[in-house]
Structures are given as structure tokens and as C-alpha cells.
Structure 1
Amino acid sequence: MTEPWGEDVIYHFHRRISLFAVQPELRAIPDIGEIPLGAAAAFISVGALVVLVVTALWRVRLGIPYEWWHLSHIALALTAVTGGLIHMVGWGFYLADPWKRALWIGLVLFWGALLFYVRLVKPLFMLRRPYRVARCATSAATPPRW
């Protein structure tokens, strides 16, 4: 019966799941004010990631226009990454070292700033100097006549 996972995994799963039977307070849904910030951020991050993947795979079937999907894709990605970062910092276990915390926060800020530049700043600069077609070739054999 333990073939796919092994005895140690089955034992630990059984032990964890049995805690719900002997400690009923673990089954109670907590009040919204009792949920730790790290747990709430993880829930929001995973939810955003699931919605992002579902809409990316089935955008056409769901009838989502490309422009709306593109904007929501960016917003959901930012929500997932930010929620993940808040989860890591809020939980405090993995990022207890200040250097690790600074590295992860710096990475998120860097990628957020890059996204801000590529999606907002660069297009605004391009409005002042739009592309112009300097030459149009109809085919490689005949050069265009101007």
C-alpha cells in the first residue's frame, strides 16, 4: 500500500491528518482578523497564480478579449509575486536573515521597476518620437521607386 510514496511519507501524512481528529480547533475556520499576514498573502498569491494560468490557457474559450487579458495577466502576475514576497517576509522563517530579505525585496523591486519602465515609461517616450517608415521594399528582386 505504500508503494507509490514510501512508508515515511505515508506515516507523516497519517500523523498530520490525525491531528485534525484529536484537535477540533484545527478544523475551525478562523476569523478574518486571526489569519496571519503570511498565510493570507500566500492564499492571495496562489489564487492569483491559478487565475493567471487558467486565463492564459483558456482565454479564447472564456471569451476574454486580448487587451483585457493582457492587462489582467500583468496585474495577476504582480499580485502573485507581491503576495509571495509578503508571504516569505511575513512568515519570517525563510527570510530571517536580513541579507536574504534584502535580496528578495531587491529582486522584486528591480523586476517591478523594469516592468514599469517597459510598459509605461518607454511607450510614453515613443509617443514623442514614433517610428517612421523610411523605405518599403515590395520584393527583394525589385528595388522600390521613390
Structure 2
Amino acid sequence: MTRVRVTAPRGRPAGGAQAAGVTGHPPAGSVPAGGAAAGGAAAGSGAGLRTAVDAREAAEESDAGQVFVQALIRSQLRLGIVVAAGFLLILLAFALLLGVVPGLAELRIAGLPFDWVLLGAGIYPVIGLSAWLYVRTAARNESRYRDLAGDR
């Protein structure tokens, strides 16, 4: 396995979409160790990886490319807010359930208070499901972006 040095592209803000790894591709100028670019071409020849990276950067710098990147950022932000709000609503529902149903907090299961069992055994599957949905949907958003940007 060869090592790859990942650096931020020059001329862009450090917090930009490319630097944050949104597109999932190496930044401009990064070449795999050993001096070979994609497809076995020599790094100095300008073929392979450099051509694809230059074409992608040119597309991102165009007006349409900027719109695509901004749409991706908005969709990922919206996804994060929806998943976090859904998780917090479920957590709030657990708390309301314990407060509204009389005697539920005093109930014991296997010697443990019910509220502890509910939070311990009930919340972790919700966390896992939220994380799985987030990752799946974020990958789908990025795939749609790559399709729109013509990056495949």
C-alpha cells in the first residue's frame, strides 16, 4: 500500500468544500507516493489524475459548479439538522413518557429502574439508526452531486 499526502488546494479558503473532503477526491497537486498518477502515468506528464482534478476544479469554479457545491452544502446541513432534531425529539418523547405515565419511573426490570433500562437499552438503537441513516443519506447526496458535476 502506498502512502498519499493530502494537502489543501492552493487559492481556496481552508474551510471550503474541497478542503473539507466533500467531494471525496484528493486535492489538486497530490500525487501518490512513488511518483505515479492515476492510470500509471508519470507525475510529470500531466496525464491521469491531474487532468481529472483540473477538469473538476474548473467545473467547481464555474457559476454552475458553484451552484452545485452550494446545493451540496445546503443539503448536508439540512440532513444534519433533521437527524439531530429527530434524535432530540425521540429523547424528549422518552422523557415525556416517564413523566406522563404514573408509576413508570418506579417500575423495576431485573432490579434496575425502568427509566435506566429505557435510556440504556432504548436509546442506543436509536443512536445507531440515526447514524446509519445519516451516513447513507450523506453518501447519496454526494453521489448526486458527483453525477450533476459530471465527476464520474
Structure that is richer in helix per residue: 1
TM-score, length basis structure 2: 0.29
Larger Rg, first or second structure (1 or 2):
1
TM-score, length basis structure 1: 0.30
